[in-house]
Structure 1
Amino acid sequence: MSVQIDVVIPSFRLEEHYLLPILSLKRPADTEIRFFLVADNPAVVPSPAIQQLVDNQRVFLSINPENLGAARTRNKAMEMGNAEWILFLDDDITVPANLLEIYAEAIRRFPKEIGFIGLVNMPPPHKAFSHAIVASGSMDIFKIAKDRKSFAWGATANMMISRVAMGDVRFSEIFPKAGGGEDVDFFMNIRERNNFTDFKSLPEAAVEHPWWNNEASNFKRPFRYGMGNSWLPQLNPKYAYHDFPNTIETVFLALITGIAAAFLKPSLLPAIGLFIGGVVLIEIVAGAVQSAKRRAKPSIEVYFYLLLLRLIQEAGMFWGNISRGRLVGITERFNYNGSFRKTHFYRTNTYKLVKWVLYPLLVIWIWRYTSA
């Protein structure tokens, strides 16, 4: 059985340290492989080593005339080819020499699958910020192929899809240009198009992904992810549900109440101020309890970063909805596992239980304190 694979690699930097091993991957027997490298940076200059590999037969290079963003760049790269299978790879991963052989063998064994989720390994964290990212669970999708036999979506750092299964589905361009949420939307739309069939996990197809910026702290990424993810319930309402307000939403609602109280009943302002302070304290306590349960490195610095990561991503989601005037997005959540459970307020975890035990106690204390 002959196999055709288009390898799609969007890139901004064109770093040959990562790209040369990818573009030089061994072609499995009876397999047609083509690489489509698209640079989303009009100012980039390909190195001579990369240019030498570009032959417009096996390796193709296109440089966008302007920064088009992750979604449009991937769409463009996919349209450049026509192979039966498409392999998405990031431009900053380290690949094993037999990666394409593993995927080609999977295609031959499971030709009717809609796609395969590869494994993305990251180095052990050495800095507090990286420890916090691991404990937060935000990178769990990278190792989903190891944890689940199949799943509703995967990371575009290392994932293969069937072009037939994809059909006319493309990455939506309404998400942030630098990425955030568009991969979830894309893969779930393919899944829906194929009777909600999950993608098969392929943990043996493993790549290595480095920490960004040498593990330096960066809060633009979680805010951007939050903004992007705010679109998911709106575009995919079948997976949406409502939950209790998170910390950012609670503080916002309290501030709105405070503004109203300033005109209608100023005597409530001290109680509202105490409530907002208590909400922040409860967030710290609940976050610390959950961090301990997730076995985060016992460090005040790690707990602090965990707190910031959660609040900043919540702020991104909140701002994404508010900036579009979508008030219904407040308290709206998304089933990232692709389930249709619509029962509101049903999700519980340690973090949530701690918060909703402490909230009534906070209200009782404020009532007694302000009534004394």
Structure 2
Amino acid sequence: MGVSIDVVIPSFRLIEHYLVPILQLKRPAGARVRFYLLSDNPEVAVSPAIADMVNGTDVFLEVNPQNMGAAYTRNRGIESGDGDWVLFLDDDITVPADLLEIYARAAEQEPRATGFIGLVRLPAPGKPFSDAILASGSMDIFTIAEHRKDFAWGATANIMVRRSAIGNIRFSEVYPKSGGGEDVDFFLKVRAANQYENYRTLPAAEVNHPWWKNEAPDFKRPFRYGTGNALLPEQLPQHASRELPNTVETVLLAVVAAIVAAVVKPALLGPIGIFIGGVLAIECIATTVQSIKRKAKPGLLVYWYVVLLRLSHDLGLLWGNLRRGKIEGITRRFNDNGGFRKSNLFRTNTYKIVKWILYPLLIWLAWSVYTSA
């Protein structure tokens, strides 16, 4: 095999039991493989086992002078090597011994492919929060290789891209340092630069990813993703479209209306309060119905976590716009499947249908309270 692969692994913790097996991956016969381990933590303690593997020949360790963020660190990895292909891997995955052979074989068979999306397998959920993550669909990109022959982008946990396809495109540093949106931005820009050719999926290139924080509830991650995703319509407007206000945006608009009503017409405060409570109740109902349709593990706690995951993401989306003064970003959504839809206002799914049925009833109820007062 005459391919050359640069393996880029950004890391903050340099956890030995994950990284050593990655650095020990079997090199394909005839291929040149170089590992670029990049720490975004200037105070990181490098274990002796990892230090012994760093040889400056095929295993390199670079430490950022300060915490620069995921985008900067991956860019440094791209620029450190010159291999024909760049394989991005997370620093907390477990890998099969033949992972590089699978990727090298794919590169030989399809040398002009934009890239290959590997499969990222999460463990079977052991707690309700993990069941909720799966039910929410937020991690569907991890297993896209199981369901599609190709796709517009992939998770940086396990994806290989042709260097000549990348060209001078880099991960944008306008996104949150800890990650959120920059991967979608990068892979879609690379795709656009290559006649919008999707990445091939490669389910045989399977890695395992652990649950975060031992499956403990964590809503900071979806909030951060939402904050980053708020930038996507601005950075890639060709993939943006308008939607009806989501629950968080609707509540914000109702709160603004309540503030105005408190000055202009206090009698409206009661109906507005009923409307806000109803909006939140409808969110719970619509999300639960959608979770059941997605075959979520039955359980009130699971359904509740799915609701909170959605609200956390949407709150991050709103905050990402408000903190930059981008009021026009409210109701603007990003088509992360790579589509060019101009408007999603009347695109239906189970979640929307339930809301469309219940919202008129809620508005009627609020109006009835007002007129009977």
**Partner letter of residue 76 of structure 2?**
K
Quote the Cα distance in structure 1 between the aligned partners of 2:344 and 2:22: 45
How far 1:370 moved relative to its partner? 2.5
How far 1:82 moved relative to its partner? 0.7
Match of residue 79 from structure 1: 79
How far 1:269 moved relative to its partner? 1.2
**Partner letter of residue 22 of structure 1?**
I
How far 1:366 moved relative to its partner? 1.7
**Partner letter of residue 190 of structure 1?**
V
Match of residue 349 from structure 2: 349
Quote the Cα distance in structure 2 between the aligned partners of 1:277 and 1:212: 32
How far 1:212 moved relative to its partner? 0.9
Unaligned runs of 5+ in 2: none
Match of residue 38 from structure 1: 38
Match of residue 50 from structure 2: 50
How far 1:112 moved relative to its partner? 0.6
How far 1:52 moved relative to its partner? 0.7
Quote the Cα distance in structure 2 between the aligned partners of 1:69 and 1:369: 51
How far 1:343 moved relative to its partner? 3.0
Quote the Cα distance in structure 1 between the aligned partners of 2:108 and 2:97: 19
Match of residue 109 from structure 1: 109
Preserved CA contact (<8 Å) 2:72 2:173: yes
Match of residue 92 from structure 1: 92
Question: Is 1:64 paired with 2:64?
Answer: yes
What secondary structure is seen at the aligned counterpart in 2 of 1:56?
coil
How far 1:271 moved relative to its partner? 1.0
What secondary structure is seen at the aligned counterpart in 2 of 1:206?
strand
How far 1:296 moved relative to its partner? 0.9
Preserved CA contact (<8 Å) 2:267 2:370: no
How far 1:211 moved relative to its partner? 0.6
What secondary structure is seen at the aligned counterpart in 1 of 2:303?
helix
How far 1:345 moved relative to its partner? 0.6
Question: Is 1:250 paired with 2:254?
Answer: no
Q: Determine what percentage of the aligned residue pairs are the same residue.
A: 59
Question: Is 1:128 paired with 2:163?
Answer: no
What's the CA shift string for 1:189-227, capped at 9, x where partnerless?
000001111000011000000111111111110000000
Quote the Cα distance in structure 2 between the aligned partners of 1:130 and 1:193: 36
Quote the Cα distance in structure 2 between the aligned partners of 1:40 and 1:343: 39
Give the TM-score, by structure 2 length: 0.98
How far 1:258 moved relative to its partner? 1.1
Quote the Cα distance in structure 1 between the aligned partners of 2:171 and 2:238: 19
Quote the Cα distance in structure 1 between the aligned partners of 2:112 and 2:77: 24
Preserved CA contact (<8 Å) 2:268 2:370: no
Preserved CA contact (<8 Å) 2:6 2:86: yes
Preserved CA contact (<8 Å) 2:243 2:343: no
Question: Is 1:265 paired with 2:261?
Answer: no
**Partner letter of residue 224 of structure 1?**
R
Match of residue 315 from structure 2: 315
**Partner letter of residue 362 of structure 1?**
L
Alignment of 1:192-211 (within 5 A): 192-211=192-211
The list of structure 1 runs, each at least 4 consecutive aligned residues, that deviate by more than 6 angstroms after superposition, is none
Q: Cα RMSD between the aligned structures?
A: 0.8
What secondary structure is seen at the aligned counterpart in 2 of 1:38?
strand
Quote the Cα distance in structure 2 between the aligned partners of 1:289 and 1:315: 21
How far 1:129 moved relative to its partner? 0.5
**Partner letter of residue 338 of structure 1?**
G
How far 1:262 moved relative to its partner? 1.6
How far 1:346 moved relative to its partner? 3.0
Quote the Cα distance in structure 2 between the aligned partners of 1:113 and 1:295: 35
Match of residue 359 from structure 1: 359
What secondary structure is seen at the aligned counterpart in 2 of 1:44?
coil
Question: Is 1:294 paired with 2:298?
Answer: no
**Partner letter of residue 98 of structure 2?**
N
Match of residue 239 from structure 2: 239
Match of residue 274 from structure 1: 274
Quote the Cα distance in structure 2 between the aligned partners of 1:177 and 1:317: 16
Quote the Cα distance in structure 1 between the aligned partners of 2:67 and 2:367: 55
**Partner letter of residue 81 of structure 1?**
G
**Partner letter of residue 6 of structure 2?**
D
Unaligned runs of 5+ in 1: none
Match of residue 138 from structure 1: 138
What's the CA shift string for 1:36-90, capped at 9, x where partnerless?
0001111111111111110000100011111111000000111110111000000
Quote the Cα distance in structure 2 between the aligned partners of 1:243 and 1:218: 27
What's the CA shift string for 1:127-170, capped at 9, x where partnerless?
01000000000000000011110000000000000110000100
What's the CA shift string for 1:256-286, capped at 9, x where partnerless?
1111112222221111111111111111111
Quote the Cα distance in structure 1 between the aligned partners of 2:41 and 2:367: 58
